[in-house]
Amino acid sequence: MEVVVKENYDEISKLAAQMIADLIRKKKNAVLGLATGSTPLGTYKELVRMHKEEGLDFSGIITFNLDEYVGLPPLHPESYRYFMNTNLFDQINVKKENTNVPDGNAEDQDLSCQEYEDKIKKMGGLDIQLLGIGGNGHIAFNEPGSSLSSRTRTKTLTEKTRQDNARFFNNDITLVPKYAVTMGIGTIMDAGEIILLANGTNKADAVAQAVEGPVSSHCPASALQSHKMVTMIFDKEAASKLKDHYPTDPVRNKKV
């Protein structure tokens, strides 16, 4: 596990985008695991810039998103399908049919979750997975207490997560869905490489638990400590409760 601490949000976004772009340039048909929420927005903005200004080519790329609310129509402005279309897919040359978001409206949720897992496998597995972290340590919608070997399934959202996300629903928690379909921690851990991003003081406790606390389902992100290739990129505020000191760049960026 590599932890790097950058000066600000702009720097963490640019580093994450650069790491994803490096992979896309090396592997034209890379399988990207993508996230929603406020955290990855800067990364997507930078990837869009790279596409428009540097010709970064997404035409062979396949994507799988982490999660989706249950019960929101796909065109609802807070659905994660809508978020991804608006903030990334509509602005790059990825083929829409190669983009996958869990179906929050499937009649048979168990079957739909199994099909999502099967499709990831069929495509050769996730080459890289981008993650944010919840204020309660969740990754995707794997809330505290989630099995560290869980697979894609429906989860009940905690009160804390619904409160955190109420800002996207007119600050009205009653409008925030109660359930979500989410890749499991086991699904995420199968990715070849993982990048976790966090910024802001409201993430500092979760970051400290994830990086320097014990591996525990109480803090789902702590499972990443045992992943073979994970880079955690924080701004100074998110890193403010870490006890150790960490470098400002991953080893791959160092000239040796």
Segment near ligand PGA (CB under 6 A), from 23-31, 34-42, 117-125, 151-159?
34-42
Q: By CB under 6 A, is residue 137 in contact with ligand PGA?
A: no
Segment near ligand PGA (CB under 6 A), from 36-44, 184-192, 207-215, 228-236?
36-44
Catalytic residue among 67, 117, 127, 164: 67
Q: By CB under 6 A, is residue 144 in contact with ligand PGA?
A: no
Q: By CB under 6 A, is residue 39 in contact with ligand PGA?
A: yes
The only residue of 132, 144, 177, 184 in contact with ligand PGA, by rule CB under 6 A: 132
Nearest residue to ligand PGA, by Cβ distance, number only: 37
67 is catalytic: yes
Q: What is the DSSP letter of 52?
A: H
Q: By CB under 6 A, is residue 134 in contact with ligand PGA?
A: yes
Beta bridge partners of 154: 181
Other residues' Cβ atoms within 10 Å of the Cβ of residue 146? 22
The only residue of 37, 104, 137, 184 in contact with ligand PGA, by rule CB under 6 A: 37
The amino acid present at 28, given as its one-letter code, is K
Segment near ligand PGA (CB under 6 A), from 82-90, 117-125, 131-139, 183-191?
131-139
Q: How far is the CB of 157 from ligand PGA (least distance, A)?
A: 10
The only residue of 38, 93, 149, 156 in contact with ligand PGA, by rule CB under 6 A: 38
Catalytic residue among 136, 142, 165, 199: 136
Q: What is the DSSP string of 55-111?
A: ----TT-EEEESEEESS--TTSTTSHHHHHHHHTGGGS---GGGEE---TT-SSHHH
Count Cβ neighbours within 10 Å for each residue of 44-83 and write b for 16 or more, e otherwise.
Answer: bbbbbebbeeeebebeebbbbbbbbbbebeeeeebbbbbb
Other residues' Cβ atoms within 10 Å of the Cβ of residue 103? 18
Beta bridge partners of 4: 233
Q: By CB under 6 A, is residue 133 in contact with ligand PGA?
A: yes
Whole-angstrom distance, CA of residue 91 vs CA of residue 222: 34
Q: How far is the CB of 22 from ligand PGA (least distance, A)?
A: 23
Whole-angstrom distance, CA of residue 150 vs CA of residue 31: 21
Q: How far is the CB of 25 from ligand PGA (least distance, A)?
A: 26
- Would you please indicate which residues are annotated as catalytic (active-site) residues? 67, 136, 138, 143
Which residues of this protein are in contact with ligand PGA, per CB under 6 A?
A: 37-39, 132-134, 138
